[in-house]
Chain A
């Protein structure tokens, strides 16, 4: 069977899987960004209890394997009476895992804003909320976006794991087609290509555009 015949027969299935992969990526990106901000700020708290919780969370999720966390959420949580749908379990595990990595990026970003900026905002009698919103956050983005972009590309790659908890994504479809047709080179090769195109020609340019935008906002 030629490659084009393969594409004609299984192309739509793979594309449908790709749509699911994108859905997983978008949902888990939103979740991980929120988690990173919360835990990144908690990590800088002066209250030792809050800081301790954040440290434990980050060390726990960075210290264990994503696959183990994923299986734990999907197969073990039902023992405690919490059954999640495969898609939700995948997004939750991905979001919580990458949130731990992201929190460290956020923390480093906040530390990197010069102290004088805080002091100047203080001296100008800005309220704490305004200080964060108008002075600190706009300066944080150009610092944290490059490492966050790397992390997001890693996240795209990591979404392949949700196939192992029966989310019907690109990897799952490729595996399925492989087990029916045994055209391994075609189906896994196509899947690799689709991931590559998504990362190199869609996700990375988009993230670079965001970086430029953020840098321009602070006049760089």
Chain B
């Protein structure tokens, strides 16, 4: 077998890899969208006045956060059919990623809400604003910028965890690379290209998040221009 990087082979499989990249981006996007919503539910569970709900919510979040995403994927993919729920690998993957990262995002939301000064709440109470109005016009506009960097970081995080989906047969980039590699019995080029594609997508994304973080800090007066 020929040693070293074969450029012609890399060029030959490039279109296939780029198509699969599209799937990876879709998976990350959909997973992220679900995670954003799930995070809101966990946040609700955390902020309801009921103690029991709080504790149950806390335990669920802790459990999901301290177990590996990989086994959660297997669990959802293999166990749900036993209860008669037949979902495609795509759907299982999206649900699991949404749940897993939803717990992380709920922490981001919580931090952001706590980042809004308490005096803001007191001022709204003094002005006789309703709770909904306070959230909508006073608290959320101030909390959102605080949450942006954390939210951005988890978007990049989800993107980098999508290769795990290949283990349950979702045809994303890493799955395509393994398939191509197995077919041609050459793993050097496909896996290297996966790495390069990930780098070219995630480094600009991470830089963009860092930039946002700086902007937020400047806007809040924590950092000088």
Residues of chain A at the chain B interface (Cβ within 8 Å):
59-60, 62-69, 71-72, 75-76, 79-80, 153, 156-161, 163-164, 171, 174-175, 178, 184-185, 188-189, 191-192, 195-196, 199-200, 204
Contact = CB atoms under 8 A, between A and B. Distances in A.
Contact of A185 (B82, B160, B198): B82
A165 to B, nearest CB: 12
Nearest to A198: B66
B192 A188 contact: no
Contacts, number: 110
B70 interface: yes
Given A71-B191, A157-B67, A192-B63, 11 more contacts: A60-B199, A63-B202, A63-B203, A64-B202, A67-B166, A76-B187, A79-B187, A184-B75, A184-B79, A191-B71, A192-B71
Given A185-B79, A200-B62, A68 B195 contact: yes
B191 A175 contact: no
Contacts of A200: 62, 66
B92 interface: no
A88 B66 CA distance: 24
User: From DSSP, what is the main secondary structure of chain B's interface residues?
Assistant: helix
Contacts of B171: none
Nearest to B161: A65
A66 B160 contact: yes
Contacts of B160: 64-66
Contacts of A76: 187-188, 191-192
Interface in B183-205: 187-188, 191-192, 194-195, 198-199, 202-203
Contacts of B63: 192, 196
Contacts of A67: 163-164, 166, 174
Contact of A195 (B66, B163, B187, B198): B66
